[in-house]
Amino acid sequence: MSRLCSLTAVELVELLRNGQVTRREIMTEHLDRIASMDGEVGAFSQRIDPEVLLAAAAAADEERSAGCSLPLDGVPISVKEHFDVAGLASTEGVAAHARRVAPADAVVVQRLRRAGALVVGKGKQPDFKSRWNTISELHGVTRNPRDRRLSAGGSSGGDAAAVAAGFVSAGIGTDYGGSIRVPASFCGTWGLHTSPGRIPDTRAVGPSGSTPTAAAMSSIGPLARSPADLELLYGVIRGAVPAAPDSLDVADTKAGPPRVARLSDQLGAPVEPAIVARLDEICEAFAQAGYEVVDAEIPGGARLPELFGELVGTELMNVALPAWGETVGRPAREYLATMFGARQLGEYVGAYVAAFVELREHASRVASWMEQHPLVVAPVTAMPAPPLEFDIDLSDSAAAELFDRMRNVVWVNLLGLPAVAMPNGIQVVARRFAEDELLRACSSIAELVTMP
């Protein structure tokens, strides 16, 4: 990998401010790498014309001095296919929306551009962001840059692959059930799932509303090469806007005691020994950084993944799939029906409402428990990056097994908690709206995190 393509966003901005590199040089090296490798990886669903990007970089070199203070000045960035980028199609990964061109940028994209970032293109996602694998009816497959035989994860797999391959310094994804953390852990990047509401999700085309579970559990966040980059990007794109009524401006939760709860198989996930070894390495790193590390049980923890499956499955089977109709590809439809069909609560609204009431009770208990255990360290998934076809043509038993492997993922979304996925497949989870505490903790051990 070329020198500039391997640097973090923080390092690139520092070089630029010191006059050691130009924006055009940064963009040229990244575009060259994309041209040489993305045919094999398939990270991008759409890209802005390279000549347009080079001209924009050169214009920025002319307009802004080397000492410019824009936080993301000259940094190449991708955004998930989900986000509107003016002049590009907003497809959600399906052929039916291939001609739906965005007239304006989403707020997140606007904020990136104002901070000096150069948006290179859009990362692939599966149909309607619906899988833990990035295979799209419209845009095809994203492969893991570390091993082309393996999955890049999903649903923000294109952006994770773009960062891991050196195509961009950072990407912006969404996370409804692990969609940032799973691809980050498979591809070997850092990824931040924020508290829902921290970062606004606005649309220039298509429906702008959210289902109840999406509003409560889905969030936007960055994928990058370091916790410092996550913090930088988070600071740029956070903040509520009226156009996104679910977005919030809330003060950060005050830091709690320096205690870390170790979570491995307590929620029923069959964690592989290699992942347990990585978990223990991170726990030792936290101990060296001065944290107290304890094995602990989340109150009612084993029920949390089941509740996620019931709520999300009910919406998918009774609302989303009927609304999508034939626009969603057959493989994605069959995957969702197999994965969540047996978990849904049916059409009776009373059962769905009762599950939401139960969710509130669990959230209250866990919030009280986390006052004494403000950080939880756990695997993202129970397995290393799997083969590319790991979720294709699943039997009922294989779908149940896959869901079990994701038990440490989905409880985080269910409770609306922020979490950072590390490049080694381990995540750190914090209390709601405690992103600052979470990022400080990850920065304190970043140098001890090794790639598997």
Summarize pLDDT for 150-201 with one digit per residue, the tens: 999 999 999 999 999 999 999 999 999 999 999 999 999 999 999 999 999 9
Is the pLDDT at 209 greater than 80? The verdict is no
State the alpha helices, DSSP H only, in 42-179: 50-63, 107-114, 157-165
pLDDT for res 451 = 78
CB contact set of 94 (below 8 Å; sequence gap of 6+): 127, 128, 136, 137, 138, 324, 327, 328, 329
The CATH number for 259-440, chosen from 3.90.1300.10, 1.10.3720.10, 3.40.50.12160, 3.30.1490.270, is 3.90.1300.10
From the candidates 45, 90, 130, 155, give the one annotated as an active-site residue: 155
Span 47-80, pLDDT tens digits? 999 999 999 999 999 998 767 789 999 999 999 9
Q: What is the DSSP string of 337-387?
A: HHHHTTT---S-HHHHHHHHHHHHHHHHHHHHHHTT--EEEEESSSSSPPB
Span 114-134, pLDDT tens digits? 999 999 999 999 999 999 999
Span 400-417, pLDDT tens digits? 999 999 999 999 999 999
Look up 80 and say whether it is catalytic.
yes
Instruction: In the chain, list all ranges with CATH 3.90.1300.10.
Output: 4-237, 259-440
pLDDT for res 412 = 98
Tell whether pTM > 0.85. yes
Mean pLDDT over all residues of the chain?
Answer: 96
Q: Return the percentage of the chain with pLDDT > 70, whole number.
A: 99
Span 243-274, pLDDT tens digits? 999 999 999 999 999 999 999 999 999 999 99
Report how far residue 357's alpha carbon sits from residue 140's, in angstroms, rounded to the nearest whole number: 40
Report how far residue 76's alpha carbon sits from residue 195's, in angstroms, rounded to the nearest whole number: 25
Look up 155 and say whether it is catalytic.
yes
Report how far residue 391's alpha carbon sits from residue 132's, in angstroms, rounded to the nearest whole number: 8
- Name the CATH superfamily, with its identifier, for domain 4-237: Amidase signature (AS) domain (3.90.1300.10)
Is the pLDDT at 229 greater than 70? The verdict is yes
Kindly state the helix (H) or strand (E) to which residue 174 belongs, with its residue range.
strand 170-175
Is the pLDDT at 208 greater than 90? The verdict is no
Look up 179 and say whether it is catalytic.
yes
Note whether 332 and 137 are within 8 A (CB): yes
Q: What is the mean pLDDT of residues 293-310?
A: 97
Q: What is the mean pLDDT of residues 102-122?
A: 98
> Quick one: tokens of 272?
């592989």
From the candidates 179, 195, 219, 264, give the one annotated as an active-site residue: 179
CB contact set of 53 (below 8 Å; sequence gap of 6+): 27, 31, 118, 120
Q: What is the mean pLDDT of residues 26-38?
A: 98
Q: For residue 325, how many other CB atoms are within 10 A of its CB?
A: 9
From the candidates 45, 80, 219, 226, give the one annotated as an active-site residue: 80
Q: For residue 26, how many other CB atoms are within 10 A of its CB?
A: 24
Position of tokens 């969603």?
Answer: 328
